[in-house]
Structure formats: C-alpha cells, structure tokens
C-alpha cells in the first residue's frame, strides 16, 4: 500500500547544495548557454545566499550548482586559502553538500577563486569558478547598458581600444592592471574578473572550464576548454604581464611567479608568492616531503606555450 | 534634375538630364517622406549629389533640412523613399540595411559634423582619441598608425597639434568643430555631411572653419552636403543649393543662379532678407 | 566650322513677387561666336548687357531660347543644361571675368589665384609659382602676394580677380567690364593676356566701358538697343510685355 511517506521525501532543513532545485536548474541552463556562446554574458536570477552581495555570491551559486558529494573544493581569495572569506565559503560548501575540502590545486575538482588563477596548470576534469564584481567590459566606455548590449551584438569594441589608446598617450604604456578586457573565441569581449595581467594568458586554450559569475549584476559567462582568450592589444604594442619574473618569495624561495608585495618598515618591499598553497608545497618539498610535482603555467617567469 | 519649384509665374525652361557629367550621382534620394505624428517633416523630397560637388541646403528652422541630413547619415529612416550611394560593393536601398550594416557603412564612407559638438564627440576622451575611434571602428589596430592618422586628420583640419591630446571639453567651440571635422575626414569618406557647422561660432572663427572646409574640398575634392540657415555660408561653400520649406524642396539650382535669380516666391523673400 | 556659341532667340525677364510685376531684360537675341573670335557687346546703361552675359553663364535662368555651346563631348544647351553640367563646364572651360572679387577671409592672394590650377590637379608649389607670376604680370606688389585680399583696395582686388580668372586657358570667356578702374599697366597686361588667349583660340564676348582699350581685338560688335521710350518705359513694360523687347543688331567692324 502506498503511504504518504513513500511519496514524499523526509523533511530537510535545506535542499542539497543549499539552492533549491529550480534555482539550480535555471543556473545549469544558463551555464550551458554560457558554455555554448563563449564569453557572452547570460543573465540569471541571482538568489539569496548566506553571504553578502559583492562577497562572491555569483561564484558561490555556480559552485553550489556544480557540487556533488564526490567533489573536492578549493576556495582562494587573492591566491590565499586561509583568508576568512575563503575559509568560510569552503566550509559552507562542504557542509551543504558533503564535498571534500582541500587547499591543494591538484586535488580539487572545483576551484572557486577571487581575483587569481592558481599557478599550477588545471586539468580537463577541473572547473575554475571566478567571482566577478563587474561583468561588463564596456561599462567604463558606455554607461548605458542597453547600448552596451548592442555594442556586444555588433562586436563594436573600438572604444575599448580607445581607452588603451588614451593610456598609451597619457602614460606611454598600457595602464590597465587587473580585469584586462579580452576577446573570447574571436567574438565576445569579456572582463576576466579582476585577475592580474599575469593570469589572463592562463585562460587562453586552457584545458579546464572557467565560469565567471557576478551575483550582484546577475550575469554569468564562461570560457570553455581549449578556447582562445586574447587580451586586446595594439598590433605594434605587445601584451605585457607584470614584471614579477625575477622576484623571489622570501618564505618559500620560489622565483618567477606572481608575488604579493609586503612593504617593510625601512621603505623597501619584500615579496611572497601570491598562490599561498603553491608556496607551502615548495616549503614542504624543501623540508624533504615527497609531493607530486604539477606543471606550472609559468616557468622561470616565462609563460610556457 | 527633378523636384523643380512648383511652376511659379515666369518659370524658366525646365532643365534636362546631365549630358556631360558621365559619372553617376554619388547620392540619390527619391521620394523621401517622413512624418512625426501629425507633423510632416519631409514630403516627397528628391536629392541628387554628384561626386566632388558641394550641395547646400537652406531653409528656415523646421523646414526639414536637418532631418534630411540625418537620413543621409542613416540616423533616421523615412516612411517612404529610397536612398542609394554609388560606392563599390554597395547596391540597393540603404534604408533596408540593418543597424550593424549601417554603422559599418557610415563609419567607412560618411563623415558628419554636427552643430552641437556633444553629438559628435566623446567629451571624456582626448581629441586625438576621438579621431582614432573612427579608425578603430574601421578595424585599425596599430597604435602608431592610429596616432599618425589622427595627427594627419587634425592637421588637415588645421587643429593646433600641440593640443591634440586635450579633451574637447577643454577646447573652444571652433576647435571642437575642427576635432569633429578631423574625425569626419579621418577615413577619407566619400561623403561629408555638415549640419550647421558654423552656427553659434564667433564670426571670425566661423570664417576660419569655412576656410578649412573650402580648402579640404579643393585639395581632396570631397563630396559635401552642407545644411545651414545662413545664406552667406551656403554662398561661399556650395556649388548647388536646394531651398527647403515646410518639408518640401521649393527650388534648386546653381548657387549663384538661385541667389541672383530666384524663381520661387519664397526664395525671393529669403534672398531679399539676406543682409 | 561649328561655332563655340550659338545663341537662338534668347529671352530673359524677372518676376518680382513682392511687386507682382515682370521686369523685362531682353528677348529674341540670336548670335554666333566662333573660336578665337572677340565679340563686343554695346549699348546704353541698363539695356541688359551684363544681364545677357550672366544669362549665358547661367547665373540667370532664361525663359526662352537656346544657348548652344560646343563642348568636347558634343553640343549642349546652356539654357536648359543640368546644373552639374554647368558646374563642370565652369570648372573646365567657361570663364566669367567681373570687376568684383568675392574675397574669402584669410586666404592669401596667391592661393586665390592658384585655386583654378589646384582644381585642375596642378601641384601646390607649381600652382603657387604660376599664380605669383600672374600677380606680378598684373602689377600686384610682391609684398601683397601672401596677404589677404579682403583688405586690398578695389583696384588690387580686381587684379587678383583677373589673374584668377585668366590663369587657366578657357574655351569661352565672358568679360564683364574687366578693365573698369584698372590702372594703365594692369590694363595693358590684361589686353596682352586677352590677345594671347584669342590667338590660342579662346572665344570671347565682353562688355567694356572703354572699348578703345581692346580695339585691336574686336572682331564684331553687337549693339543692344531698346525700342521703348525712356519716359514711358515702366508703364509700357507692364501693359504690353512683348512690346518692349531689347533688340539686337550685328555690326561688322
């Protein structure tokens, strides 16, 4: 005999992975669309999550949709796994899904990140989720978002070069530091979220899938694996990454990776590697621990093809 | 020539089709009618401009002259009528093009100078950047070429090059018009449209801007359409003039003929009112 | 030989709307002009000599008649030709010389004179050299060559104007009192240039205050006369337009 109990699920405090099924279904559809049209911004109904808008709600919703019990999550904040925000998000993710937590880039299946791409090369089975504060690369040049949409539709990106032109004229070099506008798959220009210039080439023809999601602005877009991501440049002014090639980390001794600058009392600076767990692994290795070596995007400060 | 004045008394013999001019007209507009609600802005207007020619359009405020010019720049579409430009790879009615095609067509082939520089310029960007934007739309991606071409266009517009990186907002009205002009000619357009380019400028500055235009016309033989309510401006600039009133063309002809021997009553009034 | 200009029954009247009145200039004028011929238009003041020249140039639109002009491409009726054709001819082969200069502000004298050459495709430096040569020829002082003619005296402006109008060899020249108020030197230079052009086959028709200046060039004369009585002119014009035409006589020299 059919009982009510066999037809319904037992009561739970929240759905699996926190978001309700319809929210996840919408996100999944929009994510698939985003993958289908690389770099094109897809609107979605951004839900309430238990962190404040602007603290990674976009990335969190995408991650929550992707989670399954066998997932392993890594959350980084400007390269660090141990910041309060990163730790809280990671804890929240594992608690609502039963997924594993890790600091190690190699072990993770889903990496949610604020403003950095790890130094170690990501694989086909890994997904990078970047938190985006402002998804519209045209906003600085076109305040009217309806017009900006038309400009995307027309691939009318001349004004982005105009901004670069002005920087060249005023400063003699391109001053765009983070969120460097980049052309995805030769069609849509996206902002790669405020990652440094150092990280943008890592997205070009990458093996992994990248989602970029802005919770406050309710837009998400994606860079599928093996997709071209080309920073906008002049044909006679080559793209330059930050000059961190010859900086050495004062803790791990690593050279040729993206560094955080730590000002010293005497006015000088010391540097430590921005990808914190990558630094920790180097220290542990130097202490004799046998850790599997993962390829890095940069070697001796040079991008590997 | 079509669209003659509606047979006033003492009408001269009707003019014939061109015999000597073997090149087809660059611009051909036929039967342009545009209504805004109950107001008829343009009523069955025809216009023809031959390569190298300067066509002046005069008329009082609200005569439809600016509306017609905006249509030449594909900013507006009429209720009825066709628009053709005799350019390589271009055929048929341009009003049938979609937004993207229009934008590319205008960027490459048509330059425009507005009376109000705010319509034509990005005030937050540098003057040279405003010129460079035109080249960027057309796909130029070399910084050096952008810089050189912007400098060249500004120089041709007789803009002081030491100020080429100043923002238009910091410049005088006459200088802003020069930036607009440089932007308009940067891609060496087939057609240059000028909407009251000197209205609101001091008389001395006005003369300088007109002189620049005249020089450009002579040295590059750019085809121009210039709209003005100032008969003096039209007289110095144009080869041919079209007199508009209440959305209709009342008379057109050679500029000296229309001003010295106007056929239509309205044109006579207009010419007699000239200082 | 086909004439350069073949005028048949040309008539011009102006309608003044504010007076609701017709003003008759001339009617039924016919004459021919061949290459290298110099035709003098004579007649009293106000008889319509300048009006006729301007009608030939199409600054005025005639009501009736034809102005057949022999262009390289064929015969064309200047009275009814399309505006573009007129523009083309004016740029290429029909010149109009007046005593009045429309000086544009801030354009130097030599550039004004060089303009027809520049339009014809001559390089800037060459055109300016040629322009200065002609300014010199007409007696414009060297230190005025780079100055703006807006500030010149009437005589100097006229010299600039003449140099500009005559710098390019035309096929047909319409001369509207070009010698008026010129000094002797410039007048001599002008007559020399006209003689050169005439021997080069340029057809010319002109109005002169003192035809004696160009006496050696004149091949034929046309006398324009009016039949109306001076004190009745206005009334008769209104009452019977056809009764008051300008008339024409050919007088061989």
A13 touches chain B (CB under 8 A): no
Chain B residue at shortest CA distance from C120: B218
Chain A hits for B136, Cβ within 8 Å: 158-159, 161-162, 165
The 3-state secondary structure of chain B reads CCCCCCCCCCCCCCCCCCCCCCCCCCEEEEEEEEEECCEEEEEEEEEEECCCCEEEEECCCCCCHHHHHHHHCCCCCCCEEEEEECCCCCCCCHHHCCHHHHHHHHHHHEEEECCCHHHHCCCCCCHHHHHHHHHHHCCCCCHHHHHHHHHHHHHHCCCCHHHCCCCHHHCCHHHHHHHHHHHHHCCCCCEEEEECCCCCCCHHHHHHHHHHHHHHHHHHCCEEEEECCCHHHHHHHCCEEEEEECCEEEEEEEHHHHHHCCCCHHHHHHHHCCC
| Secondary structure of residue C37 in the 3-state scheme | coil
Task: For chain B, list the contacting chains (3+ Cβ pairs, <8 Å).
Answer: A, C
The closest CB to that of B129, out of A153, A166, A236, belongs to A166
| Closest partner CB to B129 (pick from A162, A236, A237) | A162
The confidence score (pLDDT) of residue A1 equals 67
- For B44-90, write each residue's pLDDT tens digit: 999 999 998 999 999 888 899 999 999 999 999 999 999 999 998 88
Comparing alpha-carbon positions, the chain C residue that sits nearest to B263 is C15
Q: Which one of A166, A168, A234 has the shortest CB-CB distance to B125?
A: A166
Mean pLDDT of C6-33: 86
Give B99's contacts in chain A (Cβ within 8 Å).
150, 154
Encoded tokens for C49: 């000599």
Tell me whether chains B and A touch (3+ CB pairs under 8 A): yes
| Contact list, B224 vs chain C (CB under 8 Å) | none
Average pLDDT of the segment spanning A102-126: 96
Mean pLDDT within B249-275: 87
- Positive or negative CA dihedral for B11, C91, C164, C184? negative
Residue B247 gets the label, from left (phi > 0), alpha (psi -120 to 50) or beta, of: left
Q: Which chains touch C (3 or more CB pairs under 8 A)?
A: B
CA–CA min distance B101, chain A (Å): 9
**Contacts with C71 from chain B: Cβ below 8 Å:** 20
Q: Which of B192, B166, B43, C10 is nearest to A170 (CA)?
A: B166
**Contact across the interface for B9 and C15, Cβ inside 8 Å:** yes
Per DSSP, helices labelled H in chain C are 49-57, 83-92, 109-119, 124-137, 154-166, 184-199, 233-239
Residue A51 DSSP one-character state: S
Give the pLDDT confidence of A172-191 residue by residue, as tens digits. Answer: 999 998 999 999 999 999 99
Q: Is B218 on the interface with A (CB under 8 A)?
A: no
Cβ <8 Å between B122 and A234? no
Proportion of chain C above pLDDT 90, given as a percent: 26
Choose among A156, A166, A236: nearest Cβ to B144.
A236
Indicate yes or no: CB of B165 within 8 angstroms of CB of A170. yes
> Would you call A158 and B137 a contact, using CB atoms and an 8 Å cutoff?
yes
pLDDT at B217: 84
CA distance C236 to C232: 6
Q: What are the C-alpha distances in Å from A240 to residues A199, A300, C128, C143?
A: 11, 16, 51, 58
Average pLDDT on B106-133 reads: 92
pLDDT of B13 reads 63
Backbone angles phi, psi at A83, to 5 degrees: -75, 155
Q: How far is it, in rounded angstroms, from Cα C5 to Cα B267?
A: 31
Does residue C75 have a pLDDT over 80? yes
Q: How confident is the model at residue C101 (pLDDT cuts 50, 70, 90)?
A: low
Instruction: For chain B, positions 156-195, list CB contacts with chain A under 8 A.
Output: 165
Sequence-separated (6 or more) residues with CB below 8 Å from residue C30: C7, C8, C9, C10, C65, C248
Q: Once rounded to an integer, what is the mean pLDDT over residues A233-250? A: 93
Q: Which residue of B has its CA nearest to C114?
A: B218
What percent of chain B stands above pLDDT 90?
Answer: 57
**CA separation for the pair C135, C129 (Å, rounded):** 10
The closest CB to that of B15, out of C63, C80, C88, belongs to C80
pLDDT, residue C105, reads 67
Q: Which residues contact C243 (CB under 8 A, 6 or more apart)?
A: C227, C228, C236
CB of A235 within 8 Å of a chain B CB? The answer is yes
CA-based nearest distance B229→chain C, Å: 19
Q: Report which of C51, C21, C60 is spatially closest to residue C246, judged by C-alpha positions.
A: C51
ipTM: 0.84
Q: Of B215 and B155, which is predicted with more confidence?
A: B155
Q: Which residue, among C71, C74, C87, would best test binding to B if mutated, counting the most B CBs under 10 Å from its CB? A: C87
Percentage of chain C exceeding pLDDT 70: 87
Q: What is the mean predicted confidence (pLDDT) over A36-52?
A: 95
| Residues in chain B whose Cβ is within 8 Å of chain C | 1, 8-21, 50, 53, 207-208, 210-211, 214, 218-219, 221, 236, 239-240, 252-254, 256-257, 260-261, 263, 265, 268-269, 272
Stretch C16-36: mean pLDDT, rounded? Answer: 86
pLDDT (0 to 100) of residue C232: 35
E strand or H helix that includes residue A229: strand A229-231
- Inspect the interface and report whether the beta carbons of B236 and C61 lie closer than 8 Å: no
How many helices (DSSP H) and strands (DSSP E) are in chain C?
7, 10
Instruction: Kindly indicate the confidence band of residue B216, based on its pLDDT and cuts at 50, 70 and 90.
Output: confident
B238 contacts on C by Cβ (under 8 Å): none
Place of tokens 């050919």: C250
Query: Is A156's CB within 8 Å of B137's CB?
Result: yes
- Reported confidence tier of residue C106, pLDDT bands at 50, 70, 90: confident
Question: What kind and span of H or E run contains C76?
Answer: strand C74-77
* pTM exceeding the 0.80 threshold for the entire prediction: yes
Mean pLDDT confidence for B208-225:
85
Residue B144: closest CA among chain A residues belongs to which residue?
Answer: A236
* Long-range contact pairs involving A208-211 (C-beta distance under 8 Å, separation at least 24): A208/A122, A208/A123, A208/A124, A208/A126, A208/A127, A208/A128, A209/A35, A209/A126, A209/A127, A209/A128, A210/A127, A210/A128, A210/A129, A210/A130, A211/A31, A211/A34, A211/A59, A211/A62, A211/A127, A211/A128, A211/A129, A211/A130
Strand ranges across the sheet with C38-43: C94-97, C172-176, C203-207, C38-43, C220-226, C246-252
Residue A136 CA to residue A146 CA, distance in Å, equals 11
Contact call for B146 and A165, based on CB within 8 A:
yes
Show Cβ contacts of residue A230 under 8 Å, excluding neighbours closer than 6 positions: A182, A183, A186, A204
Query: What is the predicted pLDDT for the residue at A37?
Result: 97
Residue C146, phi then psi, degrees to nearest 5: -95, 0
Q: Is A158 on the interface with B (CB under 8 A)?
A: yes
Query: Could you say which of B50, B257, B272 has the minimum Cβ distance to residue C60?
Result: B257
Strands C172-176 and C64-71: unpaired
Pull the structure tokens for residue A195.
Answer: 């990652």
Q: What is the mean pLDDT of chain C?
A: 81
Least confident interval from A22-31, C30-39, C70-79, C179-188: C179-188
Mean pLDDT of A110-136: 96
DSSP-assigned states of every residue in C115-149: HHHHHTT--HHHHHHHHHHHHHHTT--GGGTTS-G
Contact B270, B231 (CB under 8 A): yes
Question: Residue C230 — pLDDT band, cuts 50, 70, 90?
Answer: very low
- Torsion sign, CA atoms B39, B45, B51, B56: negative
Residue of B129, B132, B143 with shortest CB distance to A237: B143
In this complex, do C61 and B263 lie within 8 Å of one another by their Cβ atoms?
Answer: yes
Q: Look at the block and give the residue holding tokens 């009615």.
A: B93
Q: Which of C9, C11, C16, C17 to probe by mutation at the B interface, max B CB count within 10 Å?
A: C17
Q: Which of C22, C87, C105 sits opposite B239 (nearest CB)?
A: C87
Per-residue model confidence as pLDDT tens digits over C130-140? 999 999 988 88
Question: Cα separation of B100 and A7, whole Å?
Answer: 55
Token couple for C18: 């504010």
Using CA coordinates, name the residue in chain A closest to B134: A158
Q: Cα–Cα distances in Å, from C137 out to A241, C96, C99, C212, C217?
A: 68, 20, 17, 21, 20
With a cut of 50, say whether residue B10 has pLDDT above it: no
- Return mean pLDDT, chain A: 94
Q: Do C87 and B240 touch (CB under 8 A)?
A: yes
- The chains found to touch A (3+ Cβ pairs under 8 angstroms) are B
**The token pair that represents A12 in the structure block:** 């739970």
The predicted pLDDT at position C60 comes to: 92
CA distance B73 to B116: 16
Give the CA angle between residues C211, C216, C220 to the nearest 5°.
Answer: 70
Region A230-241 average pLDDT = 94
Strands A182-184 and A229-231: antiparallel
Strand partners, A302: A299
Give the other-Cβ count within 10 Å of C221's Cβ: 16
Structure tokens at B30: 């036929």
Element housing A278 (H / E):
helix A276-286
> Do the Cβ atoms of C63 and C11 come closer than 8 Å?
yes
The answer to whether residue B242 scores a pLDDT higher than 60 is yes
- Token pair for residue B171? 């410049």
* Residue A189: per-residue pLDDT: 97
pLDDT, averaged across chain B? 88
Question: Do chains C and A have 3 or more beta-carbon pairs under 8 angstroms?
Answer: no
Under an 8 A CB cutoff, do B13 and C79 touch? yes
Q: Let me know: does B32 contact C96? Beta carbons within 8 Å.
A: no
CA distance A106 to B136: 43
């Amino acid at each position: 005999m059919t009982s009510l109990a066999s037809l319904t699920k037992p009561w739970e405090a929240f759905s699996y992975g926190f978001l309700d099924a319809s929210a996840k279904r919408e996100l999944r559809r929009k994510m698939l669309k985003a993958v289908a049209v690389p770099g094109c911004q897809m609107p979605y109904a951004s839900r309430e999550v238990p962190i404040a808008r602007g603290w990674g709600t976009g990335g969190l919703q995408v991650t929550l949709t992707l989670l399954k019990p066998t997932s392993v999550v890594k959350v980084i904040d400007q390269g660090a796994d141990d910041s309060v925000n990163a730790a809280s998000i990671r804890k929240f993710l594992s608690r609502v899904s039963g997924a594993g937590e890790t600091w190690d880039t190699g072990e993770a299946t889903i990496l949610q990140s604020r403003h950095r791409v790890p130094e170690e090369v990501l694989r086909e089975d890994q997904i990078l989720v970047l938190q985006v504060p402002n998804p519209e690369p045209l906003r600085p040049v076109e305040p009217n978002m309806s017009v900006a949409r038309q400009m995307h539709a027309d691939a009318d990106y001349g004004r982005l070069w105009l901004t670069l032109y002005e920087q060249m004229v005023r400063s003699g070099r391109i001053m765009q530091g983070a969120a460097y506008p980049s052309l995805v798959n030769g069609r849509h220009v996206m902002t790669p979220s405020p990652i440094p210039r150092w990280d943008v080439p890592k997205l070009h023809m990458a093996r992994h899938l990248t989602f970029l999601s802005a919770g406050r602005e309710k837009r998400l877009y994606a860079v599928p694996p093996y997709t071209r991501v080309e920073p906008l440049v002049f044909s006679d002014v080559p793209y330059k990454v930050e000059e961190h090639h010859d900086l050495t980390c004062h803790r791990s001794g690593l050279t040729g990776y993206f560094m955080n600058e730590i000002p010293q009392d005497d006015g000088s600076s010391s540097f430590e590697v921005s990808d914190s767990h990558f630094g920790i692994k180097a220290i542990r290795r130097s202490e004799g621990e046998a850790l599997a070596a993962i390829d890095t995007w940069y070697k001796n400060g040079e991008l590997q093809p | 020539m079509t669209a003659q004045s509606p047979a006033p008394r003492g009408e001269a013999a009707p003019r014939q089709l061109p015999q000597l001019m073997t090149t087809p007209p660059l611009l051909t507009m036929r039967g342009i009618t545009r209504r805004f609600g109950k107001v008829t802005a343009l009523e069955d207007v025809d216009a023809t401009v031959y390569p190298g020619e300067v066509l002046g359009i005069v008329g009082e405020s609200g005569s439809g002259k600016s509306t017609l010019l905006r249509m030449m720049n594909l900013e507006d579409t009429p209720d009825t009528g066709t628009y053709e430009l005799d350019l390589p790879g271009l055929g048929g009615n341009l009003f049938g093009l979609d937004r993207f095609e229009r934008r590319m067509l205008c960027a490459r082939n048509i330059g425009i100078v507005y009376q109000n520089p705010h319509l034509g310029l990005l005030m937050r960007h540098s003057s040279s950047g405003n010129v460079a934007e035109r080249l960027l739309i057309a796909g130029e991606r070399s910084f050096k070429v952008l810089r050189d071409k912007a400098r060249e266009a500004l120089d041709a517009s007789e803009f002081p090059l030491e100020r080429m990186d100043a923002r238009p907002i910091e410049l005088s009205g006459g200088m802003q018009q020069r930036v607009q002009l440089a932007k308009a000619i940067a891609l060496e357009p087939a057609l240059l449209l000028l909407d009251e380019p000197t209205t609101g400028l001091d008389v001395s500055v006005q003369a300088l801007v007109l002189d620049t235009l005249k020089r450009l016309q002579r040295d590059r033989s750019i085809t121009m359409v210039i709209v003005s309510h100032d008969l003096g401006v039209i007289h110095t600039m144009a080869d041919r003039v079209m007199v508009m009133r209440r959305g209709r063309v009342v008379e057109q002809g050679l500029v000296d003929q229309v001003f010295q021997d106007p056929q239509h009553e309205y044109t006579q009034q207009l010419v007699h009112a000239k200082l | 030989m086909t004439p350069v200009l073949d005028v048949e029954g040309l008539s011009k009247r102006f309608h003044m709307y504010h007076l609701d009145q017709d003003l008759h200039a001339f009617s039924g004028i016919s004459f021919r002009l061949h290459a290298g011929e110099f035709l003098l238009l004579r007649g009293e003041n106000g008889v319509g000599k300048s009006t006729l020249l301007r009608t030939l140039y199409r600054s005025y639109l005639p009501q009736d008649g034809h102005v057949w002009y022999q262009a390289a491409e064929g015969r064309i009726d200047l009275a009814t030709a399309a505006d573009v054709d007129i523009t083309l001819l004016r740029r290429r082969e029909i010149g109009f010389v007046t005593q009045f200069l429309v000086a544009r502000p801030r354009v130097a004298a030599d550039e004004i004179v060089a303009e027809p050459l520049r339009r014809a495709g001559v390089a800037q430096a060459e055109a300016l050299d040629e322009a200065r040569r002609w300014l010199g020829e007409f007696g414009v002082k060297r230190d005025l060559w780079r100055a703006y003619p807006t500030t010149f005296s009437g005589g100097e402006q006229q010299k600039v104007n003449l140099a500009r109008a005559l710098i390019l060899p035309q096929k047909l020249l319409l001369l509207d009192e070009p010698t008026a108020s010129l000094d002797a030197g410039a007048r001599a230079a002008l007559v020399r240039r006209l003689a050169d052009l005439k021997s080069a086959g340029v057809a010319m028709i002109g109005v002169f205050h003192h035809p004696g200046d160009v006496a050696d060039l004149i091949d034929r004369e046309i006398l324009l006369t009016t039949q109306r009585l001076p004190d009745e002119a206005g009334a008769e014009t209104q009452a019977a337009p056809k009764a008051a035409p300008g008339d024409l006589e050919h007088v061989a020299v």
